[in-house]
Structure 1
Amino acid sequence: MKKCNFIGLSLATLLLVTGCGKAVYIENQQFVLTEAIDFDENNKLVVYTATPVFNKEATDKYKITSTGSNTMRKSKGQIDSKTSGSLAYGKSQNVLIGKKLLQQRDAFPYLDVLFRDSRNEINANVIVVNGTVKDVMYTNTSDKGRISSVIKQLVESSHKSSITVQTSLQKFHQQMKDKGVTPSLSEMKTEKNEIVIAGTALLHKDGTYATFLNNQESSLLILLQRDTKNMIPLTFHFPPEMFHTDEAMSYVSFNIKKAKYKFKINFEDDHLTLDIEMKVPIDLTERMFALDLEKKRKQLVLAIEQELEKQCAALLKKAQKYQVDPFGFGVYVRAHDYKNWKKVEDNWEKVLSEATVNVSPKVIIKSIGVSE
Structure 2
Amino acid sequence: MSKGLLYVGFIVMIIICLTGCSDRLDMEDASFPLALGLDIDANDKFHIYVTNPVFSKNVKKKSHEISEPAHTLRQSRVQQDAHSPGVFQGRKFQVILVGKRMLQHKDWFRMLDVIFRDSRNTVTDRVIAFDGPVSEIIYLNPDDQPYLPLLLRGMVDTKSERSETVKTTAQELHRDIYEKGITPSISEVKLDENKNIQLNGATLLDHRGKYSATLETQETVLLNILQNKTSKSVNLTLPIPGITKKGPFDRDKVSFNAEKIKTKIKTSYKQDKFRFDVNIQMDVVLTEILFPVSVRNKGVDLEKMIGEQVQKETNALIRKIQSHKIDPVGFGLYARAYQYKHYKEAEDHWGQELANADIQVSVNVSILGMGPVK
TM-score by length of 2: 0.93
Q: What is the Cα deviation at residue 169 of structure 1?
A: 0.4
Q: What is the Cα deviation at residue 240 of structure 1?
A: 4.6
Alignment match, 2:131? 130
Q: What secondary structure sits across from 1:241 in the alignment? A: coil
Letter in 1 for 2:106: R
Asked if structure 1 preserves the Cα contact closer than 8 Å seen for 2:186 and 2:204, the reply is yes
Alignment match, 2:114? 113
Aligned counterparts of 1:199 and 1:9: Cα–Cα separation in 2: 65
Alignment match, 2:91? 90
CA separation of 1:243 and 1:78: change in aligned 2, threshold 3 A: closer
Aligned counterparts of 1:96 and 1:244: Cα–Cα separation in 2: 43
Aligned counterparts of 1:247 and 1:271: Cα–Cα separation in 2: 45
Alignment match, 1:325? 327
Identity, % of aligned pairs? Answer: 33
Alignment match, 2:282? 280
CA separation of 1:9 and 1:112: change in aligned 2, threshold 3 A: same
Aligned counterparts of 1:21 and 1:180: Cα–Cα separation in 2: 51
Q: What is the Cα deviation at residue 193 of structure 1?
A: 2.0
Q: What is the Cα deviation at residue 10 of structure 1?
A: 5.5
Q: What is the Cα deviation at residue 7 of structure 1?
A: 8.2
Letter in 2 for 1:141: P
Asked if structure 2 preserves the Cα contact closer than 8 Å seen for 1:164 and 1:219, the reply is yes
Aligned counterparts of 2:103 and 2:10: Cα–Cα separation in 1: 62
Asked if structure 1 preserves the Cα contact closer than 8 Å seen for 2:285 and 2:370, the reply is yes
Asked if structure 2 preserves the Cα contact closer than 8 Å seen for 1:240 and 1:247, the reply is no
Alignment match, 1:171? 172
Alignment match, 1:210? 212
- Does 337-346 or 66-75 show the bigger shift? 337-346
User: Unaligned regions of 5+ residues in structure 1, if any?
Assistant: none
Aligned counterparts of 1:85 and 1:238: Cα–Cα separation in 2: 59
Q: What is the Cα deviation at residue 58 of structure 1?
A: 1.3
Aligned counterparts of 1:330 and 1:188: Cα–Cα separation in 2: 28
- Does 339-348 or 362-371 show the bigger shift? 362-371
Asked if structure 2 preserves the Cα contact closer than 8 Å seen for 1:141 and 1:150, the reply is no
- Does 225-234 or 297-306 show the bigger shift? 225-234
Q: Per-residue CA shift, 1:312-341, capped at 9, x if unaligned?
A: 000000000000000011111112222222
CA separation of 1:7 and 1:251: change in aligned 2, threshold 3 A: farther
Asked if structure 1 preserves the Cα contact closer than 8 Å seen for 2:268 and 2:339, the reply is no
Aligned counterparts of 1:243 and 1:266: Cα–Cα separation in 2: 43
Letter in 1 for 2:209: G
Q: What secondary structure sits across from 2:39 in the alignment? A: strand
- Does 227-236 or 280-289 show the bigger shift? 280-289
Aligned counterparts of 1:241 and 1:165: Cα–Cα separation in 2: 33
Q: Residue 248 of structure 1: which of 237, 250, 256 is its match?
A: 250
Q: Per-residue CA shift, 1:325-368, capped at 9, x if unaligned?
A: 00011111112222222121111111100111011011111222
Alignment match, 2:43? 42
Q: What is the Cα deviation at residue 11 of structure 1?
A: 5.0
Q: Residue 13 of structure 1: which of 11, 24, 27 is its match?
A: 11
Matched, 1:352 2:354: yes
Q: What secondary structure sits across from 1:182 in the alignment? A: coil
Aligned counterparts of 1:340 and 1:245: Cα–Cα separation in 2: 55
Q: What is the Cα deviation at residue 371 of structure 1?
A: 4.4
Q: What is the Cα deviation at residue 5 of structure 1?
A: 9.8
Letter in 2 for 1:39: I
Q: What is the Cα deviation at residue 244 of structure 1?
A: 11
Aligned counterparts of 2:12 and 2:55: Cα–Cα separation in 1: 33
User: Unaligned regions of 5+ residues in structure 2, if any?
Assistant: none
Q: What is the Cα deviation at residue 246 of structure 1?
A: 9.4
Aligned counterparts of 1:5 and 1:371: Cα–Cα separation in 2: 86
Q: Per-residue CA shift, 1:183-231, capped at 9, x if unaligned?
A: 1010111121211111111011121110111111111111111111122
Aligned counterparts of 1:138 and 1:131: Cα–Cα separation in 2: 13
Alignment match, 1:187? 188
CA separation of 1:355 and 1:242: change in aligned 2, threshold 3 A: farther
The number of aligned residues is 370
Q: What secondary structure sits across from 1:326 in the alignment? A: coil
Letter in 1 for 2:124: N
CA separation of 1:270 and 1:199: change in aligned 2, threshold 3 A: same
Q: What secondary structure sits across from 1:305 in the alignment? A: helix
Asked if structure 2 preserves the Cα contact closer than 8 Å seen for 1:33 and 1:94, the reply is yes
Q: What is the Cα deviation at residue 306 of structure 1?
A: 0.7
CA separation of 1:245 and 1:260: change in aligned 2, threshold 3 A: farther
Q: Residue 303 of structure 2: which of 297, 301, 313 is its match?
A: 301
Q: What is the Cα deviation at residue 270 of structure 1?
A: 2.2
Asked if structure 1 preserves the Cα contact closer than 8 Å seen for 2:39 and 2:133, the reply is yes
Alignment match, 1:81? 82
Aligned counterparts of 2:196 and 2:135: Cα–Cα separation in 1: 13
Alignment match, 1:53? 54
Letter in 1 for 2:259: K
Q: What is the Cα deviation at residue 370 of structure 1?
A: 4.3
Aligned counterparts of 2:366 and 2:245: Cα–Cα separation in 1: 19
Asked if structure 2 preserves the Cα contact closer than 8 Å seen for 1:50 and 1:65, the reply is yes
Alignment match, 1:151? 152
Asked if structure 1 preserves the Cα contact closer than 8 Å seen for 2:180 and 2:348, the reply is yes
Asked if structure 1 preserves the Cα contact closer than 8 Å seen for 2:95 and 2:125, the reply is yes
Q: Per-residue CA shift, 1:45-100, capped at 9, x if unaligned?
A: 11001111111111112111110011111111111111111111222110011001
Root-mean-square deviation (CA, aligned residues, Å) is 2.2
Aligned counterparts of 1:244 and 1:305: Cα–Cα separation in 2: 25
Asked if structure 1 preserves the Cα contact closer than 8 Å seen for 2:225 and 2:263, the reply is no
Letter in 2 for 1:289: F
